[in-house]
Amino acid sequence: MTVHRDTVVRALHFGSRSVGRLTARARMLPSFLICGGQRCGTTSLYRALAAHPVVLKAVWHKGVHYFDTGYHHGPAWYRGHFPLQRTASRIEQEYGVPAQTFESSPYYLYHPHAAARIAHDLPGAKTVVLVRDPVERAHSQHAHEVARGFEPETDFARALELEPARLAGQRELMLADPHAYSFSHQHHAYRGRGEYATYLAALAAHVGRERVLVVESELFFTDPKPVYDAVLEFLGLPHLGYPEFERHNARPRDSRIDPGVRAELTAHFAAHDAALAKWLSRTPFWRA
């Protein structure tokens, strides 16, 4: 009998999570989170930070997705995803500074309950949010969702036309019922997930403005060292050299956007980008 590899992997993950839940009290909790945005370079920043000698990543997955779609599992399940405290103690003895652990779930920024849950369950945790040109982000997300089989409409312009109807009432439904889930809210919000300032304000209202760092993806990709330095300073991590900066999770796609669609999206995001400028203390890179 042939056993499919995915079946084996799922079984291993289930067993590890079960062990993690049983040993939850002996495990770390994140001191910081990468909360988004989707298709903004979160995987690349995650890999760079995971390479830091005193940073321990989540055991199995980059994104645990606890504060958005997995909250019903409970705190022991969440804590079971992270390294043991004895591992952190060994690192602290070696480097003389406390070890930190983290995860990266890009849906946290956009999910209507995630910010409040983070503030309640991880008081004091810091959050890092990456932003990029929202027009390019939307186009990249569409290609990503099509490739994963989550978007049946392969034409980007048509998917944008469908977005208002798909998302109508979904956020309100989720706000009214903490257990509600919306597939379209997670996978089809091409405009919505690029309205960064709206969701940054909601995040800051819960966790505190001083615990939110906004990073422009374009700057991270073109000149990563200063951005990495700023992230380490924000997180209180010592500078112990630079990792190999690589661009991860980039998906091949036709980068051309219909000029009319680009113009419409650029106009749509104008006010949102102006609000984002207050977070960056300058005009966003793509508007400069």
Mean pLDDT over residues 147-167, rounded? Answer: 98
Give residue 272's pLDDT band: very low, low, confident or very high (50, 70, 90). Answer: very high
> What gap in Å lies between CA 76 and CA 1, rounded to an integer?
36
Regarding predicted confidence, which is higher, 253 or 245? 245
Structure confidence at residue 20 (pLDDT) = 60
> What gap in Å lies between CA 65 and CA 68, rounded to an integer?
6
Mean pLDDT over residues 150-176, rounded? Answer: 98
pLDDT of 5 > 80? The answer is no
Mean pLDDT over residues 192-202, rounded? Answer: 98
Structure confidence at residue 6 (pLDDT) = 44
> What gap in Å lies between CA 48 and CA 51, rounded to an integer?
5
pLDDT of 17 > 60? The answer is no
Q: What are phi and psi of 243, to 5 degrees?
A: -80, 180
Q: What are phi and psi of 145, to 5 degrees?
A: -70, -35
Give me the long-range contacts of 273-281 (CB less than 8 A, separation at least 24).
273/134, 275/197, 275/198, 276/131, 276/196, 276/197, 276/200, 276/214, 278/197, 279/196, 279/197, 279/200, 279/214, 280/214, 280/216
pLDDT of 10 > 80? The answer is no
Q: Which domains does the chain have, with CATH numbers?
A: 27-280 (3.40.50.300)
| CA dihedral angle for residue 104, residue 156, residue 186, residue 216, rounded to 10 degrees | 30
> What gap in Å lies between CA 25 and CA 30, rounded to an integer?
14
pLDDT of 21 > 70? The answer is no
Give residue 1's pLDDT band: very low, low, confident or very high (50, 70, 90). Answer: very low
Alpha helices in the chain (DSSP H): 5-22, 42-50, 75-79, 85-95, 114-121, 134-147, 156-167, 170-176, 183-187, 196-207, 217-222, 224-235, 259-268, 270-280
Structure confidence at residue 76 (pLDDT) = 96
Structure confidence at residue 35 (pLDDT) = 97
pLDDT of 198 > 60? The answer is yes
Residue-wise pLDDT tens digits, 107-128: 999 999 999 999 999 999 999 9
pLDDT of 250 > 90? The answer is no
Cβ partners under 8 Å of residue 162, min gap 6: 153, 188
pLDDT of 238 > 50? The answer is yes
Type and span of the H or E element at 130: strand 126-131
Structure confidence at residue 259 (pLDDT) = 96
Max Cα distance, the chain (Å): 61
Under a CB-based contact definition with an 8 Å cutoff, are residues 261 and 156 in contact? Answer: yes
Q: What per-residue string of b and e applies to 203-222 under the rule 16 or more CB within 10 Å gives b? A: bbebbeeebbbbbbbbebee
